[in-house]
Each structure stands twice: as C-alpha cells, then as structure tokens.
Amino acid sequence: MTNILIFIIVISVIATLVQIVRVSELLSEIKNKDVNEVTDKDNNTQGLLFLIVGFGFLIFVVWQMITWDHLLLPPASSVHGTQIDLLMKVSMGLIIVVFFITSPMLFYFAFKYRGKKSNNAYFLSHNNKLEVVWTVIPTIILTVLIIFGLKTWDNAMNVEVTESTKLIEVYAKQYNWTARYSGLDNKLGKANYKLVKGKNTLGVDMLDINSADDKMAREVHLVVNEPVLLKFRSQDVIHSAFLPHFRVQMNCVPGITTQFGFTPNKTTAQMKESEGEDFEYVLLCNKICGASHFNMQMKFIVETQEEYDIWIASQDNLEKKLLTQK
Amino acid sequence: MSEHHKENFITKYIFSMDHKMIAKQFLLTGMFMAVVGMLMSAIFRVQLANPGETSILYNLLPSTWLNDAGGLNPDKYLALVTMHGTILVFWVLTAGLSGTFANFLIPLQIGARDMASGFLNMLSYWFFFIATVVLLSSLFVESGPASGGWTIYPPLSALPQAIPGSGTGMTLWLISITLFVVGSLLGGLNYIVTILNLRTIGMTMQRLPLTVWALLITAILGVLSFPVLLSCGLLLVFDRSFGTSFYLSDIIINGEVLHNEGGSPILFEHLFWFLGHPEVYIILLPALGIVSEVISVNSRKPIFGYKAMVGALLLIAFLSFIVWGHHMFMTGMNPFLGSVFTFTTLLIAIPSAVKVFNYLATLWRGNIRFTPAMLFAIGTVSAFITGGLTGIILGDSALDINVHDTYFVVGHFHIVMGLSAIYGMFAGVYHWFPKMYGRMMNKNLGYIHFWGTFICAYGVFFPMHFLGLAGLPRRYYSNSAFPMFDGLSDINSLITFFALAGAIVQAIFLFNFFYSIFKGTKASQNPWKSNTLEWTTPVERIHGNWPGELPVVKRWAYDYSKPGAEEDFILQTEPLKDGEIEH
Amino acid sequence: MDIALRNMVKKQLLWISLAAISMFFASMLSAFIVEKADVGNWKEFILPNYFVFSTGVIILSSLVLFFIKPQLKKDKSIFSLVFTVLILGIIFSYLQIKGWQQLTNQGIYLTGVGSNISGSFLYILTLTHLLHLVGGLVGLCISAIKSKQNLYSINNYLGLELTAIYWHFLTVLWVILFAFLKFY
C-alpha cells in the first residue's frame, strides 16, 4: 500500500514540475525572450547567493567547531601523543587559516565579479612573478610541516625498548581481543597458529621456557608512566588495534607480528576526574573485519604500580591455566 | 574514412561506433549507477541515524538482508558500503566521468572526425556494460554481494567463512572489475592515440584545451595503473579459488586451520594502492580539466597560467605513482618508508595549491556569467580547497596514526574526490548538454539543483571530520556499542538528514536532464560563446562531426575578452590579426 | 585517415598496449621480489632445464624474424620464415609445459597443501606469459597464411610487422622473467 502511495506521489511531483517548467517557458516565449539565457539579473542573484551561502557555510563551519568541540578526543594520555597533539594543532591551525583565506576569496570573487552585459573582463593570461610567489610560499610552509611531521613520526615509531619496557601481546580474532602478559621474565613465549586448541586460544608454545609464566587476560592493565610495547597478532583477517586516547594505532595482520610502543601518562582515575565518571580507555577495531566489526572492543586500564601489582597477582599464569587445570 | 555511414537503429543507438553516441551511453549508464549508489548510501545513512530500526527505504532491499525486526543486518550494511564505494569510484566517477567526456570531447575539441578506432571504442563501452550487469547481478546472490570494503583486502575478501559476501558475491565482483579494467584500458589506449595523432592542422599541444590535456594525462595514468589491479586481482583469484598462498598465511577461521603459509596480505595492499592512488587522480583530473574550461568560458577570461596548469597536471600525475604508501602507514611498514611516503604525499599539495590560486586568478576581474555549469565549477574549486586541505593532515604519517580509517578520512575523500569530481561532472553535463542533445537544460532548475546540492553536500560531509576527530572508525554498522560515541548521535542524525535531502535534490537534475532531452528549448550553435572547436560543428549530430573540411586551428583556446577584438570571444579557427601575438 | 597515419595509429596502439602489459608483469615481478625477500618459508628449488632450452628457442625465433624484411625487399616469399617462427613458438610452448611437468615431478606445485609461494609464483609468471604468447601464435598463424598467399609486400606488411613487434616483446619479457627466476 505504502509503495503505491509513494508511486502516486512521485508521479504527481513529476507532473507538477513539468507544468511549472512548461508555463515558465511559455511565459518567456510570449515575452519573446530565451528562458535559458543568463541575464544580468541572474548574475546578480547568483553572485549574491554565493556571498550569502558561501559565508553561511563558513559560519556553519565555525558553529561546528564551537558546538562540537567538547565531543572531540581529550588531550593525549601518552608521552608521544602529546607531541602528535602539538603537530595536529599546528597543522590544523595552518589549514584553518588557509581555508578561511581562500574560501572567502572564492565566494567574494564570485560575487564581486558577477557579470554585466555592458562590462568587459580583464584580459590576463599569466603572470610569472605571481605564479612563482604562490608556488614558493606553499613549498616553504610544507617544508616546515614535513620536517616537523617526520620528527614526530620518528619519535612515535622508533621507540627504544629497554629492560623496563613491559611486553604485552594483543591478539585479534573475529570478534574479540585477548591480551597476553609476558610475566616475570618479561619475555613472551613463542606462539604458533597450529597450536591453537581448546583453552590455548592463542596457540602459545608451552614447550618454550618463556611461556610458563605468561598470563592471559581479557582486559589490559598498564602502569602509569611505565613504557609498554604492544605486540600484535591476528588469527583470521586483518584487524587494526586503535587506542584513540593514547594516539596509538597498528594493524594486526595474520602471519605477521606488528608492534607499537608508548608510555601512558594519565591513569584511568585521573581521566575519570576530568572527563566524567563514564570514562574508560578502550581498544577498538579499526579495519573492516566482518559483521561484528563495530563491536570488537577491549578495556584498557591505566593505574598505579600498587593497583597493578594486586591485579596481576590475581591472574593465573599459563602453566597453571593450561597444563594443570584439566 | 567515409563521412556518412548508413545507420539503422541498432548501429546508431546500440552498437554505435560514433564517439558522441558512445559518450552518451557512458553517461546514461553512469547516471543509472549513480542513482543506485546514492540509494545505497541513503539506506545506510538511515541505519546510522536509527541503528537497528526499520525504515521505509528498506523496502528496496531483498528481505533476506533484514532481520526479523525489520532492521538491516550488519553484514548487509557492509555489503551496501562496499557496493556504494565500488559503484561510485569505478562506475560513476571513472567510467561515467572520463568515459563520457573523453569520448565526447576529445575528437570534438582536437578537430577529429572520430576516435582513432571506433571499433575499440565500442568494445570499450560493451565491456563496461557487461561489467555493470555482472556487478548488479551480484546484488541478487543468496550470500550477498562483496562486503569486504571496496578495497577488498584479503584475507577478509578471500575467505567466505569470514563474511558471507566473500563467496559468490566476491567472485562476481572480481569478474566484473576485470571486465571493467579491460574496458577502461581499451578506452584509454584509444584516447591517447587519438590525441597524439588526430589533432587537426594547427592544433599543437600548446593550443590544446585543458580538458583534453587532463583527459590525456588521465588516460596515461589509467593505462599504466589498471594493469596492476589486474595482476593484483589475478593473484587474489588464485588464492580464493585455487588454494595458493600469495596473500594468506597462518589463518584459523571459524575453527578451521587453513594450510596457507608464507603469503602476505600487505603485498595485496601495496599492489592495490599502486593502482588505487593514481585512480584517485583518474577521477579528479578530468573534473579539473572540465572546470578549467567552464570557468574560463564563463569568466570571459583566459584561464590564468595555462602552462602552469598543464605543468601542475603533469606533476600531480607523476607524484600519484609514488605516494601509494600513505594508505598503509598503519600496516607496520618500515618507519623510514613511511617517512618517504609522507614526503612525496605532502609534495602534491604544491601543484594543487597552484591550481587553486590559478582558478582564483581566473575569476579575478572577470565578467562572470552564472550558468548552472559555472556554479558547479565554482563548487568544484570550493570542494577542492576544503577537501584538499585535510589531505595535509592525512598525508602526514604521524597525524595519520589517530585519524587513519576514521570518519575524518571519509569526510576528506568524499569532499576532495567525491564532491569535486561529481561537481565537475555536473558542470560538464550542463555545459555540453546543448552539444550532446541539441537542446538546453532548464537554467532555473539547474540553479535550484546546484544550491540544494551544495548546501546538503557540505551538511553531509563536513561534520564527518568531527566524528573522525572524536575517534569514530569508519565502516561501523552502529555507533552504539561504545559509550564514548554516545554523544555523536546528534551529528549522525544531522548528516543523515542532509544526505536524504541531498538525494531528493538530485531528482531535480534527473528530471531536468530527461525533460530537456525531449522538450528543452532548442540550442543555438554556440550558446556559451565559447572558443573551442566543438562549437563550430552543426547542432544536429552527424557522423564525422564537421560536414565539410576539418577546421584549421590558428590560436589557443582561451582568447576571451582580448583587447582589440570585436567580441569577447574569438574562435580557435580565427586567424591571428596582423601584429597580434598569441596569448 | 590516410594509410600512413592509420599504420602509425595502429603501431602506437600496440606500443601503448605493450606498456600496459609491461606494467602487469612489472607488478607481478615486484610482488615476486618482495615476497622472496620477506617470506620466511620461501622454498628454493632448481629451475628445470626445459626453461633454459625454451629461452634459447624463443631467442632463436626472434632472430629469425629479423630475416623477413630483407626477404620482403628482395620480393621473395617469406612463408618459410614465418612458418619457422610459428613452429619455434609451438616448441617453446611445449617446452614450457614440459618444464611444469618436471616441476610437479620434483614436488613443486602451483596450489594445494604441499605448495609454496616460490612455486606458485613460478607457475603464475610462466602461465601468464604463455597466455600472452598464445595471442602471438594466433598472430603468427594469420601471418603465415597471408604470406603463403603472398599478400605481403615491402609496402604493405603492417599485420606482419605488428605481430613481429609483439613477438619480440614476448621474447624480451621472457628473458627478463627467466633471468629473475633463475638468478635472483
């Protein structure tokens, strides 16, 4: 029934449009004018519209920046993230300035130079000096941005791994995450996908001497201000581990181990204070991986050393979990 | 070549070898696919605004795509996203845009009777047509069409166990895209050879209209990059259907341990994006070419910095081959390689900036005539500025860490590639409609169409940047799974509102287009008072384009408002006066 | 279009197609190189000698093609030359297939449980080359028939020339592929 109704509405709208267009054409025929000729009046209206709608758009942009500012991610909760935020501020500031120079120019030119039958355009085919200027200026600005960007990138990706760096594996599969702590020896035992069986969901090689004290968990606890190196593996398709609050992202690729090192510098409790009681650090999947891609998450908790020690002690190690409990 | 063939209905309208008819075939197929793709986006936008709820639009979908409550299934949401991307990127903005205007404009603007090979040209369309049929047929497969994203990354696209769409739907997708690539290659070969050999007397490369330059460079990009997609797809076909391990390794799926070892999904990404990035410019450059022409004609001024414009096109095309890694910063690639790609990527901003400033300089002190085509051309420049600037964020590997694959990317490419190109396409259709059909499109409907589109499009895509900066990943069926995104539902509703409004506005264009084909007012020979050669042909379509001798070109295409001339335009066939210097 | 222009257009169409085909193989070859450098379980194996022989055969066939133009200039029949190239092309194909046979005897498979990417790449590269070569063989067949009917002259042998360019391309392509498979 609704379909028929929609059909009838569509037909009548088309019929009305045809009538309107016919009438306007007939009217201009009577006046002996070409309905599709662009008149000075059209130029005035359209030029003015560019001014109004164009600047309306710019106001809309400013409105969005103000209204939705509180929805954006809070400042980074990691050491390298702070530098990324700075680079983001600089780049964003720059493109906003360029945007608010060039866009108004475009809309204003459209308005200002709207045509008139009696007017003539100014013949100007090129101006080498001008062209050099607007090639060189972007080049200089970009050089600065590139250098700043590459430094930040280097800093974020080439983390130094020291004794105190905690090693944690994050294992992705459709559609959940599992973490593996490296235990007292801070070494992850070897793993192989062929060993995935029963409780050994990560395929850890229990014959490896480093495996026994590893611990598996469904949430990740980190110690504030302690560097951590995340190692990523995937069981089935490509996933992407995305920790927006820490400015961390890395793909998890089957057959390959990837990694990302960072140092969290704000505890969950601190964040709850500034961002509200509901705040949690989360790990999201950010590479299309199947039907439940949108709901593949794991909690991250940043806490003090004492809190962490209590939590980690409560977790069974793999030797106990896989070998003794049958 | 004989000038007038005997034509019957079939050779004139269906298996036509006339470039103008083939162009129209591309245009109509592209428009049809655009409607399909747009409806898909309307459907998934409704889902994003009201997750899990039912909607009247879902009546368009097969009932197996819906759950018992009448809501959209998550995997079918991904199917819609995937097909929307595929259709818009390849069918509308590659074939619909460059297929239409390369075919239509190249012979007309260089003064040739037709393409170098009419037969190859016809073949090119029919490959495209069959590809279209195959792609659409995949919508009606039981397990659904391809659903792994338009970038079809394996293993997701290789394993039907991972997502149902990777079964028959994906097979059809691959067949379809292979046919599509073959069609594009045949077209591209033809465009290049035609431009290089069949220019009329006097039409030197320095006198070519910028549209033709853009189309030439686009064709070269296509011929060099599409074969890579073929080899990339071939290896995927072997992995999917014959059990090789090029892209697969160490996989357990649904509890089943696969035998594949040693392959690398990252290899696929490298091959895919080696095509994928030039593809972006295959989409964008023809639009920029059209816009250069339209802006110059309607500002009644020569395009500012013709040589710089050509140089910028060439530089962008060259750079597009060495930046593909910026799609893969987060794949765990060597950080040094990431630095190289950041460097090359940000370089593209320079020729792009030059183009924008040259457009602005062309408008400056012009005598702008606001035809609907001109409105869309200015719209393109606006979108190119807005979308291009955010590219500086995304191309910077350090910043990409946190915006990669979020809605920030979606906003960016929809504005810079989607809007710029589709506005360019609209500008082209409004501008050359009189040449295509001998009638005018209604001006006032064109105005309404532009303003409706312009407002709605920014209403849809600009807020997406904020979603991305809030950390929202793309391709999420629903944002309700994470409390941190609860505050974003208002933005999503706003986007959906504008998306649906924008879709309805397009109906005005469709109406105007088909109404004007049959009932529009008759066009004169040169309605826009333009210089280029296509406006020296008669209004009636004839095979061979010019009834008598081919025109001889005496000057460049942009002598508008030249001091000393009687009118504000001088046809390219007009000889230089005594003492008059070119440009 | 006059004939000279039409010939030039056709030749250019061919050359640009060759550029496209080159990109196809270049990407495949770079995939091969990258995987070989990266993959942990890359299985080395000895390339069957058949591929060495086939390389010799295809180079020889290309050399034979060079004698056609002088013959045409002297207005002599070129059928035997074209036919020789055709036969050499068929021998090449036969040797390729023998090469695959020997590979499977060695336990190197294209696909399946026992396969390795190294073998898969070899099969794919040789297979896609052979598929392109089939096109060349068809061209040679047509050229052979036409030369038998004495349809070519020094002023009119475009079809043959295009086939020859394509055939030389296949030879060069094979030599490059062979070099990578054998020595890289």
In a domain, B559, yes or no: no
C106 contacts C64 by C-beta, under 8 angstroms = no
In a domain, B560, yes or no: no
A 198-217 residues inside an 8 A Cβ radius of B? none
CA angle B501, B507, B513 (to 5 degrees): 150
Cα separation, B476 vs A296, whole angstroms: 10
- How near does any CA of chain B get to the CA of A113, in Å? 6
Same domain for A268 and A193: yes
Same domain for A240 and A173: yes
Same domain for A150 and A214: no
Q: What pLDDT sits at residue B580?
A: 82
- 3 state SS for B188-240: HHHHHHHHHHCCCCCCCHHHCCHHHHHHHHHHHHHHHHHHHHHHHHHHHHHHH
- How near does any CA of chain B get to the CA of C91, in Å? 27
The chain A residue lying nearest B351, using CA atoms, is A135
Q: What pLDDT sits at residue A325?
A: 53
Same domain for A195 and A319: yes
Residue B4 has pLDDT above 60, yes or no: no
Total structural domains within chain C: 1
Residue C106 has pLDDT above 60, yes or no: yes
Q: What is the pTM of this model?
A: 0.94
CB contact under 8 A, B228 and C38: no
Tokens linked to B398: 């350090």
CB contact under 8 A, B75 and A290: yes
Domain of B526, in residue numbers: 9-536
Total structural domains within chain A: 3
In a domain, B581, yes or no: no
- How near does any CA of chain A get to the CA of B399, in Å? 6
CB-closest option in B360, B370, B563 to A106: B360
Provide the pLDDT confidence category of residue B5 given band limits of 50, 70 and 90.
low
In a domain, B541, yes or no: no
In a domain, C44, yes or no: no
Give contacts of C13 with chain B, Cβ < 8 Å: 116-117, 120, 189-190, 193
Q: What pLDDT sits at residue B3?
A: 43
CB atoms within 10 A of CB A105: 17
CB contact under 8 A, C5 and B245: no
Residue B483, chain A, CB below 8 Å: the answer is yes
- How near does any CA of chain B get to the CA of C89, in Å? 24
Residue B111 has pLDDT above 60, yes or no: yes
> What pLDDT, in 10s, does the model give residues B366-379?
999 999 999 999 99
Residue type, B83: M
Residue B193, chain A, CB below 8 Å: the answer is no
CB contact under 8 A, B368 and A153: no
Same domain for A179 and A309: yes
Cα separation, B292 vs A43, whole angstroms: 20
In a domain, C8, yes or no: yes
> What pLDDT, in 10s, does the model give residues B17-51?
899 999 999 999 999 999 999 999 999 999 999 88
> What pLDDT, in 10s, does the model give residues C119-161?
999 999 999 999 999 999 999 999 999 999 988 888 888 999 9
Same domain for A186 and A289: yes
In a domain, C114, yes or no: yes
In a domain, A27, yes or no: yes
Residue A200 CA from chain centroid, whole number: 34
In a domain, A121, yes or no: no
B333 contacts B397 by C-beta, under 8 angstroms = no
Domain of C132, in residue numbers: 3-36+49-183
Give contacts of C23 with chain B, Cβ < 8 Å: 223-225, 227-228
Residue B360 has pLDDT above 50, yes or no: yes
CB contact under 8 A, B271 and C27: yes
Q: What pLDDT sits at residue C152?
A: 87
Same domain for A263 and A215: yes
Those chains having 3 or more beta-carbon pairs within 8 angstroms of chain C are: B
Q: Is B213 exposed, middle or buried (0-12, 13-18, 19+ CB in 10 A)?
A: buried
> What pLDDT, in 10s, does the model give residues C56-66?
999 999 999 99
Please state the φ and ψ torsions of residue B72, each to the nearest 5 degrees: -80, 140
> In this predicted model, which residue has the larger pLDDT, C38 or B553?
B553
| CATH code: domain of residue C146 | 1.20.120.80
Mean pLDDT of chain B: 93
Domain of A88, in residue numbers: 38-115+127-158
In a domain, A220, yes or no: yes
What's the ipTM? 0.93
In a domain, B1, yes or no: no
Task: Give the SS3 label for residue B252.
Answer: strand
Same domain for A6 and A66: no
Residue C27, chain B, CB below 8 Å: the answer is yes
CB contact under 8 A, B401 and A105: no
CB contact under 8 A, B262 and C42: yes
Tokens linked to A32: 């002996």
Those chains having 3 or more beta-carbon pairs within 8 angstroms of chain A are: B
- How near does any CA of chain A get to the CA of B418, in Å? 18
Residue type, A261: G
- 3 state SS for chain A: CHHHHHHHHHHHHHHHHHHHHHHHHHHHHHCCCCCCCCCHHHHHHHHHHHHHHHHHHHHHHHHHHHHCHHHCCCCCCEHHHHHHHHHHHHHHHHHHHHHHHHHHHHHHHHHHCECCCCCCCCCCCCCHHHHHHHHHHHHHHHHHHHHHHHHHHHHHHCCCCCCCCEEEEEEEECCEEEEEECCCCCCCCCECHHHCECCECCCECCCCCCCCCCEEECEEEEECCCCEEEEEEECCCCEEEEEHHHCEEEEECCCCCEEEEECECCCHHHHHHHHCCCCCEEEEECCCCCCCHHHCEEEEEEECHHHHHHHHHCCCEHHHHHHHCC
Those chains having 3 or more beta-carbon pairs within 8 angstroms of chain B are: A, C
C 55-114 residues inside an 8 A Cβ radius of B? 110-113
Select from C44, C115, C125 the residue whose CB has the most chain B CBs within 10 Å, as the one to mutate to test that interface: C115
Cα separation, B388 vs B393, whole angstroms: 10
CB-closest option in B192, B230, B271 to C31: B271
Residue C94 has pLDDT above 90, yes or no: yes
For B337-359, what is the mean pLDDT?
94
CB-closest option in A50, A142, A251 to B330: A251
In a domain, B165, yes or no: yes
Q: What pLDDT sits at residue B1?
A: 40
In a domain, C27, yes or no: yes
In a domain, B547, yes or no: no
For B128-136, what is the mean pLDDT?
97
CA angle B363, B436, B366 (to 5 degrees): 10
Same domain for A42 and A21: no
Select from B72, B399, B451, B570 the residue whose CB has the most chain A CBs within 10 Å, as the one to mutate to test that interface: B399
For B276-299, what is the mean pLDDT?
95
Mean pLDDT of chain C: 91
Residue A325, chain B, CB below 8 Å: the answer is no
Q: What pLDDT sits at residue C113?
A: 80
B204 contacts B166 by C-beta, under 8 angstroms = no
Percent of chain B at pLDDT exceeding 90: 85
A76 contacts A85 by C-beta, under 8 angstroms = yes
For B211-239, what is the mean pLDDT?
95
Cα separation, C115 vs C43, whole angstroms: 9
Tokens linked to C136: 């060349």
Same domain for A202 and A145: no
Q: What is the DSSP letter of B581?
A: P
Residue A102, chain B, CB below 8 Å: the answer is yes
Cα separation, B534 vs B528, whole angstroms: 12
In a domain, C41, yes or no: no
Total structural domains within chain B: 1
Residue B523, chain C, CB below 8 Å: the answer is no
Residue C142, chain B, CB below 8 Å: the answer is no
Output the CA torsion sign for C131, C136, C139, C145: negative
The pLDDT tens digits along chain A (326 residues) read 667 777 888 888 888 888 888 887 777 777 777 778 899 999 999 999 999 999 999 999 999 999 999 999 999 999 999 999 999 999 999 999 999 999 999 999 999 999 998 888 999 988 999 999 999 999 999 999 999 999 999 999 988 888 889 999 999 999 999 999 988 888 899 999 999 888 888 999 988 888 888 999 999 999 999 999 999 999 999 999 999 999 999 999 999 999 999 999 999 999 999 999 999 999 999 999 999 999 999 999 999 999 999 999 998 888 888 876 54
Same domain for A4 and A69: no
| CATH code: domain of residue B412 | 1.20.210.10
- How near does any CA of chain B get to the CA of C100, in Å? 16
Output the CA torsion sign for B296, B299, B305, B311: negative
Mean pLDDT of chain A: 91
> What pLDDT, in 10s, does the model give residues B161-174?
999 999 999 999 99
Same domain for A174 and A309: yes
Residue C5, chain B, CB below 8 Å: the answer is yes
A 261-280 residues inside an 8 A Cβ radius of B? 278-280
A 3-42 residues inside an 8 A Cβ radius of B? 3, 6, 14, 17-18, 21-22, 24-25, 34-38, 42
CB atoms within 10 A of CB A236: 26
Of B60-69, B101-110, B508-517, C79-88, minimum mean pLDDT range: B60-69
Q: What pLDDT sits at residue A61?
A: 96
Give contacts of B356 with chain A, Cβ < 8 Å: 102
